[in-house]
Chains A and B, each alone.
Chain A
Amino acid sequence: MSINTKLKIKWRIKGEAIFKFKNAVIIVYSIAMEIMNKAFNLKKNKTTYAILSSNWCKKSFLIFLFISLGFQAQKEPEYNPMFFDMKKEWLEITKDSILFSFKSKDTLIYHNLRLLSNKENNPRLFYADIKTPVCADGECKLANIKIYWNLVGNYVGYEIYEKNPLTKNEHDPFVKKDYKKLHKLLSDPHSILKLKKITDLVDETPLALNSLNALRGIDAVSGATKKEIKESVVKGGLYSCYTLWHLVHGDVYTKMNGFLKSIHSESLNKYFLYSPYKEYQKYALKKLTAIEFNHHTEQVLNIFKNSSPLTKGYILKKFPNKLLENPLVIKQLYNSFSKLDINTKTILIDKLKKSHSSAFKIVSEELTTLTKNQLKNYFNNLRQKPNLIKSRIKSNIVKTSSSKKYPYNYMAKKFLNQLETR
């Protein structure tokens, strides 16, 4: 069996020391080979190249690396993230099992993804202790970092080995603000690095050629792109950032997601729904059936209050019509109407036709906060329920029609005029 085939095996057996050891060997071997291959591609002078590329040199280097890294690989894992965007879930961890291996698109090196669980055997985090070469300009360095993902596969934090800090160009270690920036970068799934190839990161066009292009009227577009990249990466740590971002957001995400589906259960969904994490709540909401919506209405409404416009919109679109007939539910949904974002307001106005009549009244108090199309839609819905156009609702429309500050007061006037001429 070739080394590559071995690497591609998905490790299913959990926790056995022998497996850990084997795995460590494989990682160290892969890293060593990758580093050496990169290093040997350098355009050194012939003598140096001959020495470096000789077999004994490769083997010695491998043994050295194996000893130094292999020793670390056998240590008991400890969890103490430098950055962590959840509560301290890592304190609960008592079980650490290898799930599968993954790699980044730019290397052949595989890393193990582990599932961290608590003493009740409930999964809590995904985790990987990554050792990967970071290569630039023919020079390779080893980046050693422990990555944490939440159970829906989103990056949540990282940890480094104190004695083995991340490094920038010229082997300068990362400083505090660099680590912070790296965390920010890894937290952004839409990073500009996503579609960049490693060759796209630096403009290596000689200055003279750029000047020539300028004379020809050709634009140096890479300048603009580089600026965009520069803003989001650690200064001097471009390749570390690039390599790590692609590891964190690459192939591993799909695998984590597939695994989550395989362990999905009602209790896990409940844990997600009642957790304080927006991504978990979103995942749970997506899995909720109409009946479950009824069972968990209170929590769904809690989530609605504190979620992003995207989640609010999702909840409203999925909200069972039957529940909208309940005045208590309506009260909770519509009571904060004036504070809601425009997109959510639009959906709530659209839902009026299916809602308990009290919703019309609540919105009528806020007519002067509506956009032109929202007001138009409110009136359209109200026309379908003409018996509601009385007392409080009507007086609010009259008030709106005479509001000097509200630019669409003329629409309210028009609506009232139409009522009279009917």
Chain B
Amino acid sequence: MKHPFLIILFSILCTLNAISQKDILIEAESFINKGGWLSDPQFVEQMGSPYLMAHGMGVPVPNASTKIIFQEKGKYHVWARTKNWVPGNWEAPGRFKVLVNGKTLKNTLGLHADWSWEYAGKIRIKSKDVDIQLSDLTGFNGRCDALYFSKSKKAPTNSEKKLNSWRKEKLGETSTPQKQKAFDLVVTGGGLAGCAAAIAAAEQGLKVALIHDRPVLGGNASEEIRVHTLGIYGKYKRILKMIDTKHYPNGSYKAKYDQEKRDATIKSIKNIHLFLDWRAYDAKAEDNSIKYVDARQTSTGERIRFTAPRFVDSTGDGWIGFWAGATFSYGRESSNTYGENWDKWGELWSPEIADNFVMGSSVLWQTEEKNETQTFPTLPWASEVAKDHEATSGEWYWEFSRNDLHQIHDAEEIRDHMLRAIYGSFSNAKKKDENKKFKLQWVSYLVGKRESRRLIGDHIYTFEDVKKHTKFKDAVVEESREVDVHFQRNLKVETAPDFLSKAIFYETEKYYIPYRSLYSKNINNLFMAGRNFSCSHIGLGGPRVMLTTGQMGAAVGFAAAICQKYNINPREVYEKHLEEYLELIEKQQQ
């Protein structure tokens, strides 16, 4: 849905659907005018929906607003589904109010410790056309998932189990998306791997759907996260040069130039059907073969069922594989599992007994120096994390992992912890005269993940493959970058900030990743590219950077073309057409 008019029309249609009922559910992300609020779809699988967030870096953002047609006049009770994102003994940082027809409802919102319906107040609706607004009070990440208007005073359900079906019922959503689109290849996830996969397959004549849940492409390399691309280009320089970044410092505003290049490139490729701001939410396999991927527009809620003979999971978190029942791993294997011990670093490298203490996620940030003094408050809720750490910018080592947190299930808490670390460290730095003119210029609100689910393929790539430089006969990706595994600093020094990491480097000569690590072992028509490829925790350490994952994507895109040609599954490319496949990779370089 590319035209803004269509988006508005769709919102109105959704609204019209809602007016037939006495109670009305309004998804915040569907607000027609989002003002300064941002749509955040990162945690849908955990909390149920995209939401709006007031990410004003300390300055309250302009109101978000929408128009709703009410069929019945009268007194309504209003709830907002929200949360206090830093519960504690201080004033909640993300407070906001709801305005209805210009009248501010009584209660301040964003006060309860977990996602729940908070009562905003009551309002008498006197006309059919109702104007609703969200008013941010703090600029510090207040969030609103949805508003609910009801003539009854009974609060909506907070039960995690019931909420999904309740939401569907209120929105009049059918179990199957009404729209269906067919492609030769469906690529989910538009990071470097997904983009490269789409380009390679489209070049070979495949009709490709590229589904991505953000408005811009590139994932961790995008201007929204701003990590520069590292690694080598292997045999895919021609393709990867279209989507890579320059080597600016992580977090640099210069990411926007590469963003323009990347987006324009993908949009110009005829065979790529780009679905920006669409987030996949389900995939179904029958007889170990995926039949479809369902996705939802992150603002309007519109849904499409994508069908294809083959699929690429480049979501990073391995969602397509997970929903389809692909076998996967998460966490750190014991050092004996694949012989990945490194005496010098012991437990920091590979543990004797397996655990879930994986590498963490980063949130990058930047400041700018202005001509005038800039103020920034002292924030007790941020100081609790930052302690006495001072900083005026972030880098890759601003990273958070803790053994009670899962990088997928607890991603919101991880992101929020990093926001507290950033605001607190900056607030500390601002107390120094030398930083008085510094102002927060940009703080990402997206979690830059390093490690999550790893889908299991016919080959699991491990540290042994790096050490032996195994030149597999199906080697399609190559890398010479050191294996680089991170650990949290506070593991060695308890008093160190818990949001900073260190890296352990294993220097090496070139190593190779086989094609067999790029398709699922048990889901017959599923490729994977990106950090969710088939590898061990240590195996991921080297190839997790974006030029390498981009190579994986391109390799998968070309394999999909061979699959299409012979109507075969990914494994059969290895078994029956390996020579032709490798030849295709060689030839495409010119």
A residues bordering B, Cβ < 8 Å? 190, 194-195, 217-219, 221, 224, 253-254, 257, 282, 286, 308-310, 313-314, 317-318, 341-343, 346-347, 371-374, 377, 405, 407-408, 410
Not counting A317-B351, A342-B498, a sample of 19 additional A-B residue pairs whose C-beta atoms are within 8 angstroms of each other reads A195-B505, A195-B507, A219-B247, A219-B254, A221-B248, A224-B249, A286-B352, A308-B492, A309-B490, A313-B403, A317-B355, A341-B490, A341-B494, A343-B404, A372-B413, A405-B89, A407-B87, A407-B88, A407-B113
Nearest chain-A residue to B347 (Cβ)? A314
Distance of A337 Cα from B88 Cα, bound (Å):
21
User: Are the C-beta atoms of A308 and B493 separated by less than 8 Å?
Assistant: yes
User: Are the C-beta atoms of B114 and A410 separated by less than 8 Å?
Assistant: yes
Q: With A219-B249, A221-B249, A407-B87 known to touch, is A343 a contact of B402 (CB < 8 Å)?
A: yes
User: Are the C-beta atoms of A194 and B249 separated by less than 8 Å?
Assistant: no
- Considering only residues 353-380 of chain B, those with a C-beta below 8 Å from chain A are 353, 355, 357
The residues of B that contact A314 with a CB separation of less than 8 Å are 346-347, 352
CB distance from A338 to the nearest CB of B (A): 14
Partner of B347, one of A221, A313, A371: A313
User: Are the C-beta atoms of A343 and B246 separated by less than 8 Å?
Assistant: no
CB distance from B390 to the nearest CB of A (A): 14
Interface-central residue, B84, B248, B493, by most chain A CB under 10 Å = B248
Q: Is B252 an interface residue (CB 8 A)?
A: yes
Can you list 21 A-B contacts with CB-CB less than 8 angstroms, sorted by A residue number? A190-B504, A219-B249, A257-B343, A257-B344, A309-B490, A310-B347, A310-B491, A314-B346, A318-B353, A341-B490, A341-B494, A342-B404, A343-B402, A343-B404, A346-B402, A347-B403, A371-B404, A372-B413, A407-B84, A407-B88, A410-B113
Nearest chain-B residue to A343 (Cβ)? B403
Distance of A221 Cα from B250 Cα, bound (Å):
10
The residues of B that contact A310 with a CB separation of less than 8 Å are 347-348, 491-492
The residues of B that contact A371 with a CB separation of less than 8 Å are 404
User: Are the C-beta atoms of B502 and A190 separated by less than 8 Å?
Assistant: yes
User: Are the C-beta atoms of B404 and A195 separated by less than 8 Å?
Assistant: no
Nearest chain-B residue to A190 (Cβ)? B502
Distance of A165 Cα from B91 Cα, bound (Å):
58
Nearest chain-A residue to B355 (Cβ)? A317
One digit per residue, 1 when the CB lies within 8 angstroms of any chain A CB and 0 when it does not, for chain B 212-256 equals: 000000000000000000000000000000000011110010100
Distance of A25 Cα from B523 Cα, bound (Å):
67
Interface-central residue, A282, A342, A343, by most chain B CB under 10 Å = A343
Distance of A22 Cα from B347 Cα, bound (Å):
42
User: Are the C-beta atoms of B87 and A219 separated by less than 8 Å?
Assistant: no
User: Are the C-beta atoms of A195 and B482 separated by less than 8 Å?
Assistant: yes
Q: Is B257 an interface residue (CB 8 A)?
A: yes
CB distance from B221 to the nearest CB of A (A): 15
CB distance from B195 to the nearest CB of A (A): 22
The residues of A that contact B169 with a CB separation of less than 8 Å are none
CB distance from A339 to the nearest CB of B (A): 10
CB distance from B489 to the nearest CB of A (A): 10
The residues of B that contact A308 with a CB separation of less than 8 Å are 491-494
Nearest chain-B residue to A314 (Cβ)? B347
Distance of A292 Cα from B185 Cα, bound (Å):
58
Q: Is B410 an interface residue (CB 8 A)?
A: yes
Q: Is B503 an interface residue (CB 8 A)?
A: yes
Nearest chain-A residue to B498 (Cβ)? A342
Interface-central residue, A286, A308, A309, A314, by most chain B CB under 10 Å = A309
Give the interface size class of chain B.
35 or more
Partner of B402, one of A221, A342, A377, A410: A342
Partner of A408, one of B113, B353, B402, B502: B113
The residues of A that contact B346 with a CB separation of less than 8 Å are 282, 286, 314
One digit per residue, 1 when the CB lies within 8 angstroms of any chain A CB and 0 when it does not, for chain B 380-404 equals: 0000000000000000000000111
Distance of A405 Cα from B355 Cα, bound (Å):
32
Q: With A308-B494, A374-B404 known to touch, is A317 a contact of B249 (CB < 8 Å)?
A: no
Distance of A310 Cα from B498 Cα, bound (Å):
13
Q: Is B405 an interface residue (CB 8 A)?
A: yes
Distance of A220 Cα from B498 Cα, bound (Å):
30
User: Are the C-beta atoms of A373 and B252 separated by less than 8 Å?
Assistant: no
The residues of B that contact A405 with a CB separation of less than 8 Å are 89
Partner of A190, one of B248, B402, B494, B503: B503
CB distance from B342 to the nearest CB of A (A): 11
User: Are the C-beta atoms of A194 and B505 separated by less than 8 Å?
Assistant: yes
User: Are the C-beta atoms of B252 and A219 separated by less than 8 Å?
Assistant: yes
Distance of A8 Cα from B494 Cα, bound (Å):
43
User: Are the C-beta atoms of B404 and A377 separated by less than 8 Å?
Assistant: yes
Distance of A410 Cα from B113 Cα, bound (Å):
9
The residues of B that contact A407 with a CB separation of less than 8 Å are 84, 87-88, 113
Distance of A221 Cα from B351 Cα, bound (Å):
35
User: Are the C-beta atoms of A318 and B352 separated by less than 8 Å?
Assistant: yes
- Considering only residues 495-532 of chain B, those with a C-beta below 8 Å from chain A are 498, 502-505, 507
Distance of A195 Cα from B481 Cα, bound (Å):
11
Distance of A221 Cα from B491 Cα, bound (Å):
30
Nearest chain-B residue to A404 (Cβ)? B89
Distance of A410 Cα from B88 Cα, bound (Å):
13
CB distance from B325 to the nearest CB of A (A): 25
The residues of A that contact B357 with a CB separation of less than 8 Å are 343
Distance of A276 Cα from B507 Cα, bound (Å):
33
Distance of A194 Cα from B353 Cα, bound (Å):
29
One digit per residue, 1 when the CB lies within 8 angstroms of any chain A CB and 0 when it does not, for chain B 412-452 equals: 01000000000000000000000000000000000000000
CB distance from A404 to the nearest CB of B (A): 9
The residues of A that contact B355 with a CB separation of less than 8 Å are 317
Interface-central residue, A190, A195, A374, by most chain B CB under 10 Å = A190
The residues of A that contact B351 with a CB separation of less than 8 Å are 317
The residues of B that contact A282 with a CB separation of less than 8 Å are 346
Distance of A189 Cα from B343 Cα, bound (Å):
14
The residues of B that contact A286 with a CB separation of less than 8 Å are 346, 352
Nearest chain-A residue to B84 (Cβ)? A407
Closest 8 CB pairs of A and B: A407-B87, A219-B248, A373-B404, A310-B491, A407-B113, A346-B404, A317-B353, A343-B403
Distance of A282 Cα from B352 Cα, bound (Å):
13
Distance of A224 Cα from B404 Cα, bound (Å):
34
One digit per residue, 1 when the CB lies within 8 angstroms of any chain A CB and 0 when it does not, for chain B 461-495 equals: 00000000000000000000010000000111110
The residues of A that contact B404 with a CB separation of less than 8 Å are 342-343, 346, 371, 373-374, 377
Nearest chain-B residue to A409 (Cβ)? B113
The residues of B that contact A410 with a CB separation of less than 8 Å are 112-114
User: Are the C-beta atoms of B257 and A309 separated by less than 8 Å?
Assistant: no
The residues of B that contact A317 with a CB separation of less than 8 Å are 351-353, 355
User: Are the C-beta atoms of B507 and A309 separated by less than 8 Å?
Assistant: no
User: Are the C-beta atoms of A343 and B491 separated by less than 8 Å?
Assistant: yes
Distance of A347 Cα from B502 Cα, bound (Å):
22
CB distance from A196 to the nearest CB of B (A): 11
CB distance from B230 to the nearest CB of A (A): 12
The residues of B that contact A253 with a CB separation of less than 8 Å are 344
CB distance from B484 to the nearest CB of A (A): 9
CB distance from B509 to the nearest CB of A (A): 14
Nearest chain-B residue to A311 (Cβ)? B347
Distance of A400 Cα from B84 Cα, bound (Å):
19
Nearest chain-A residue to B484 (Cβ)? A195
Distance of A165 Cα from B168 Cα, bound (Å):
77
Distance of A286 Cα from B492 Cα, bound (Å):
17
CB distance from B145 to the nearest CB of A (A): 18
Distance of A346 Cα from B356 Cα, bound (Å):
12
Nearest chain-B residue to A340 (Cβ)? B494
CB distance from A7 to the nearest CB of B (A): 24
One digit per residue, 1 when the CB lies within 8 angstroms of any chain A CB and 0 when it does not, for chain B 59-95 equals: 0000000000000000000000000100111000000
CB distance from B391 to the nearest CB of A (A): 14
Nearest chain-B residue to A218 (Cβ)? B246
User: Are the C-beta atoms of A221 and B247 separated by less than 8 Å?
Assistant: yes
Distance of A179 Cα from B82 Cα, bound (Å):
56
Nearest chain-B residue to A254 (Cβ)? B344
Nearest chain-A residue to B345 (Cβ)? A189
Distance of A342 Cα from B417 Cα, bound (Å):
14
User: Are the C-beta atoms of B249 and A373 separated by less than 8 Å?
Assistant: no
The residues of A that contact B402 with a CB separation of less than 8 Å are 342-343, 346
